[in-house]
Structure 1
């Protein structure tokens, strides 16, 4: 007897073999036809039972959501929509599902409803497809870096530093509620806390990854990060995963090469290994776009967007050139931008980034050399004294997907930048040490993994591409 999953059986041309299969009932109709799915593929396999010779009690237990084990003969299907089906000789109910209570009925559910049932939503076609793509993307990330001699480093989740300088962090403490000791001036005395200092959940593993790059040459971290932003948008999560490579002896040009090659590689990997899921998600997005006003519809399907990325060279444009293009663009002159571009130094919004990608250059874009005052302290200052060696990779539909930079390797310059931004040198003494002992040019970037999954699957809300979203007022499951 052959034990295979649904995906393997549906690809099989070995009919008349006996098979054994376990999965969950998607639908059961006419007391005869079971649509069975085990999560290995988007597609169900039809299992045909002999209802006249099946116990009536068993028939009543074959309901949507029930777990069953079937044995039977694989035969050519007589119906439409599948090439093979299983003629069931034996069925066993492994786990019942009450049809009056089971939330995931075979009908269309809103994404809001499914978020409230996140523990079950992956049983739907959309979310099973999204999560399989997420899994393949995650593997492709590690595969790319391992094949290119990067060293995987697990950077701390609990940290005493704020890599971004944003201050929007979740505090970690061992103090009991309302019992924190205080100093003479009435402030919380963190010297008596578990770690002997104020600590938080990390917003980035970049600074720690730099320490490994400056010893091993190439390093990357891929782990959870946290932002205590009270932001209820389709683009924000309080807990998300970050991909952050760091490379010694690599300048900004090399960093841009790395980002482009990496993104193309992982998306190509998914295009090869998730054909069925991407085809389903492409169709889903096309139907969703039809419900939007004409002016808001995307000009490209999901698969076209993915091919747009992997088949085009990324255009490299300085921030200064981009500002000139935007300032003189028709949408800006006709005041169609929500945030008009009037002068150099403006922080670009998604609408500006998408215009550059989708309308002006019609290819992915890498912007570089941003104004220093809108970027982080660790980015290398250019000789003009007003821009830094920063870069952002811009995609269709979403705008920025990657942010990176050549890091400031000069000790004196970095100290001055930290002072100007009121960053305590004592908190980052170890980071400054990298500039004292064998400093060298080095670069890296950060890519929010959920943003990549969102782009690859075409999902409109970032909460729908992570298994259990953490957002303001929501830490369920």
Structure 2
């Protein structure tokens, strides 16, 4: 019979238990006369379980090697603890050293380590309190994504990772090839595995549109890749995107879904990850609770891009006449993070949805408005992060879409199937993308995207 229990379950027990087994890693070891205390953590929760091991028990001879970082298996009885700050402890009947950790070289000692240092040991950083909590939050957030869409009747679509289409039209894509660069002879796309140029996807949106035009409401949730040579704290070459797509839906439906989605995720994480979130509120961002309260407190503000630019232009200089923003504010220019944050943090003091952007700064597939200058696009802006969701109503008119593709110089033949969706039963449809890592930054207060991804992929960095 398997009597193994998790540390989280042991600490949440409502009654003593006999003959249990706990496996985990030693956080600290303290020895007394004839006994030793082991603080064990198995990653299931923030807290440790104290095991009391008496001298002479099976495995006692290995105690000198059961130091910080070592993996152990402790069997015994779960009993009430006489110590303060803990209800239960494990009174050991046996201990087994599963994996030793060299105390001279084990890099995680009982002290605070910088995020920069921990990035250099990403294979070990999940053992720290901060990153253990963060990746438990990440796991729960992913589950909450699926819960939200399942409750609303959306179907999950597995979008392809390898594609021949540039969804965003920016050209910042990773090439996928089997061609040998050292072959010593001329090779073209026709010689490659797919017989044409192929890349890693930058978005699952186009696949989502296919299925939205058949299944109705769908979503994709998976990794995306952008070859953008940027080393900012907000950018990574590999990241995860959540991309819902709704048939028979306009821009207002899209904004409603984005707001409901964000509120749902925050509410679920506060319920499921209260202990882990409290760590970030205490040690990472003192304003975190207020930020999360603001997301749940009431409806998001909604303002057109034109109105947002006018508001920002009024605030472009300080009371002393100095420029407030590093980047210029002008109609036709995209909003920068500093502008997005100012709108949400200073002007509206809550999340803001900005809609109807100039068409020249948006992707080819966004529905053109009747004014000929703007498209039915929207971004959800939140304090501290800026844009967290970006989406649009898609262009469902075949002639307008074809003209836009030609205008942007995109290869029409690559989008033949996309055009056919507009010719065979076309319907208004809309959707958005949410960077999953941006969500995690928002709910934890972590300011660098490298710290919310298990193994960050950035320019000149492909470790782990």
Q: 2:347 & 2:78 partners in 1: Cα distance?
A: 54
Q: Deviations over 1:44-82 (max 9, x none)?
A: 011122247676632212111111111223222222221
Give, in angstroms, the shift of residue 331 of structure 1.
4.2
Asked if the contact 1:180/1:189 (under 8 Å) is kept, the reply is: no
Choose which of 287, 304, 309 in structure 2 pairs with 1:301: 287
Contact 1:141 / 1:266 at 8 angstroms: preserved in 2? yes
Given the alignment of the two structures, is residue 143 of structure 1 paired with residue 147 of structure 2, yes or no?
Answer: yes
Q: Distance in 2 between matches of 1:327 and 1:251?
A: 29
1:247 aligns with 2:246: yes
Asked whether the 8 Å contact 1:381–1:388 carries over to 2, the reply is yes
Where do residues 182-331 of structure 1 align in structure 2 (5 Å cutoff)? 182=186, 189-286=188-285, 301-329=287-315, 331=317
What displacement does 1:271 show? 0.8
Q: Closer, same or farther in 2 for the Cα pair 1:264/1:181, shift >3 Å?
A: farther
Gaps of at least 5 residues in structure 2 are none
User: Distance between the aligned counterparts of 2:398 and 2:449, measured in 1?
Assistant: 39
Q: Distance in 1 between matches of 2:283 and 2:181?
A: 48
Tell me, yes or no, if structure 1 residue 91 matches structure 2 residue 86. no
- Unpaired stretches in structure 1, ≥5 consecutive residues: 183-187, 287-299
Equivalents in 1 of 2:210, 2:56: separation in Å?
70
- Check 1:55–1:191 CA distance in 2 against 1; reply closer, same or farther (3 A cut): closer
Greater Cα shift, 354-363 or 10-19 = 10-19
Contact 2:316 2:325 in 1 (8 A): no
Rounded Cα–Cα distance in structure 1 between residues aligned with 2:52 and 2:78: 10
Tell me by how many angstroms 1:89 deviates. 2.2
In structure 2, the CA distance between the partners of 1:330 and 1:169, relative to structure 1 (3 Å rule), is closer
Q: Distance in 2 between matches of 1:319 and 1:348?
A: 9
Q: Deviations over 1:228-249 (max 9, x none)?
A: 1111111111011111111110
Distance 1:149 1:181 in 2: 53
* Paired residues for 1:58-457 under 5 Å: 58-179=62-183, 182=186, 189-286=188-285, 301-329=287-315, 331=317, 334-341=322-329, 343-457=330-444
What is the TM-score normalised by the length of structure 1? 0.93
Asked whether the 8 Å contact 2:23–2:71 carries over to 1, the reply is yes
Q: Over residues 108-136 of structure 1, what are the superposed CA-to-partner deviations in whole Å (9 max), with x where a residue is unaligned?
A: 11212211111111111111100000000
Which SS does the other structure have where 1:59 is aligned?
helix
Distance 1:149 1:337 in 2: 43
Separation in structure 2 between the aligned mates of residue 407 and residue 161 of structure 1, nearest angstrom? 17
- Mean alpha-carbon deviation: is it higher for 436-445 or for 70-79? 70-79
Tell me the CA shift for residue 347 of structure 1.
1.2
TM-score, scaled relative to structure 2: 0.95
Question: How far apart in 2 are the matches of 1:305 and 1:282?
Answer: 10
Q: Distance in 2 between matches of 1:141 and 1:243?
A: 8
Q: Secondary structure at the match of 1:236?
A: coil
C-alpha distance in structure 1 between counterparts of 2:147 and 2:417, whole Å: 31
- Contact 2:4–2:23 (CA under 8 A) maintained in structure 1: no
**Structure 1 counterpart SS, 2:284:** helix
Q: Counterparts of 1:427 and 1:75 in 2: how far apart (Å)?
A: 67
Contact 2:288 2:443 in 1 (8 A): yes
Q: Which residue of 1 aligns with 2:61?
A: 57
User: Is contact 1:24–1:37 with CA below 8 Å preserved after alignment?
Assistant: yes
CA separation in 2, counterparts of 1:467 and 1:39? 15
Match of 2:455 in 1: 468
- Deviates further, 75-84 or 221-230: 75-84
Give the Cα–Cα distance (whole angstroms) in 2 for the partners of residues 137 and 468 of structure 1. Answer: 18
